Amino acid sequence: MASINKLMKQAMRAQQQAQEVEAALAERTVEASSGGGAVKVVATCKGVIKSLKIDPEAVDPGEVDSLEDMVLLAVNNAVEEGQKIQAEEMGKVTSGFGLPGMG
């Protein structure tokens, strides 16, 4: 019975740590760029886009399609990097439990 109580305490501690990590990840940002730095995107590790910067030199009315592609690439790269960090951080919290869905 003592091992069940110990396991429950560990699970509760891991849940609290997971909540703390999630809150930190909501604030932690990553930056990605494309087009040689012409387009830069900052996103949280939870996938919220915080800012988008476009170098005025990159804007050519005849090249809007290219600019749209660069923006899309930078946004996707920022979100992907944030998700990678989120998975790593959450994995640290849930490792060692061996429970389905907990790492």
> DSSP secondary structure string, the chain?
-HHHHHHHHHHHHHHHHHHHHHHHHHH-EEEEEETTTTEEEEEETTS-EEEEEE-GGG--GGGHHHHHHHHHHHHHHHHHHHHHHHHHHHHHHHTT---TT--
What residue type is assigned to position 31 of the chain? E
Classify residue 101: in a domain, yes or no.
no
Residue 102 lies in a domain: no
Q: What is the pLDDT of residue 27?
A: 87
- pTM, rounded to two decimals: 0.61
Is 103 domain-assigned? no
User: CB–CB of 40/74 below 8 Å?
Assistant: yes
Mean pLDDT of 60-72: 83
Residues spanned by the domain of 77: 2-94
Domain count for the chain, please give it.
Answer: 1
CATH assignment of the domain containing 23: 3.30.1310.10
Asked if residue 7 is part of any domain, the answer here is: yes
